[in-house]
């Protein structure tokens, strides 16, 4: 999306756009069709397939990533809109092969079964815990409410959020 002003107003549907963005600290550049969503861009162009797609209309939360610090549905954003953005995806949570405290809490508390919803939950909760700590079960359920899991009972998810927020040690 560079030099757009000079091109105005003669764009066509066949035009492609170059998107440059930073994902998990690494810079990427790719050519995209304007109708490519950010979710498809991450999965298909950058081969970062940790971000999952369930509903593609903003309801399930599986595709949640962090865009410029804010948890965002990547199915509801166009790749071209991410030009210049700082993105964080589930691939960026572990450091040097060590799971993040939240990932460890998920593992410890059986907060995942099939794991399809897990990347979205991890990114939503990561963003929420940066904003404020979560000390009650009610708050934890609120933080989790924007994501849908079809195979766990949410109890493990609630426990994980509370433990990660309290900063419990990863090994237990």
Which DSSP letter does residue 79 get?
A: G
Which x/- pattern, by CB under 6 A, does the window 45-74 give for ligand FAD?
Answer: -------------xx---------------
> Is residue 69 classed exposed, middle or buried when 0-12, 13-18 and 19+ CB atoms within 10 A define those classes?
exposed
Q: Residue 91 touches which of other proteins, ligand FES, ligand FAD, none (CB < 5 to 8 A by kind)?
A: none
- Residue 165: φ, ψ to 5°: -70, -35
The answer to whether residue 61 forms part of the interface with ligand FES (CB under 6 A) is yes
Give the shortest CB-63-to-ligand FAD separation in angstroms.
11
Q: Among residues 42, 44, 37, which one has the least CA distance to residue 21?
A: 42
- Helix ranges (DSSP H) in the chain: 4-7, 38-40, 101-108, 118-131, 137-144, 155-166
Give the shortest CB-70-to-ligand FES separation in angstroms.
15
Kindly list the residues in this chain that would bind other proteins in the complex (CB under 8 A).
1, 4-5, 8-9, 11-13, 15, 17, 33-37, 40, 56-58, 61, 64, 70-73, 75-78, 80-81, 124, 127-128, 142, 145-146
């Amino acid at each position: 999306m560079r030099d757009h002003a000079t091109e105005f107003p003669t764009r066509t549907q066949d035009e492609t756009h170059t998107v440059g963005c930073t994902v998990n600290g690494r810079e990427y550049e790719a050519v995209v069709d304007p109708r490519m969503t950010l979710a498809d861009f991450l999965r298909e162009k950058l081969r970062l397939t940790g971000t999952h797609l369930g509903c593609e209309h903003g309801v399930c939360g599986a595709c949640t990533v962090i865009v410029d610090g804010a948890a965002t549905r990547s199915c509801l954003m166009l790749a071209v809109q991410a030009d210049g953005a700082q993105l964080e995806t589930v691939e960026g949570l572990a450091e040097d092969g060590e799971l993040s405290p939240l990932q460890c809490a998920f593992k410890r508390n059986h907060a995942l079964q099939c794991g399809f919803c897990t990347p979205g939950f991890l990114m939503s909760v990561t963003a929420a815990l940066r904003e404020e700590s979560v000390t009650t079960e009610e708050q934890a359920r609120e933080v989790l409410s924007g994501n849908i899991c079809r195979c766990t009972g949410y109890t493990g998810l609630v426990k994980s959020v509370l433990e990660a927020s309290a900063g419990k040690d990863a090994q237990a």
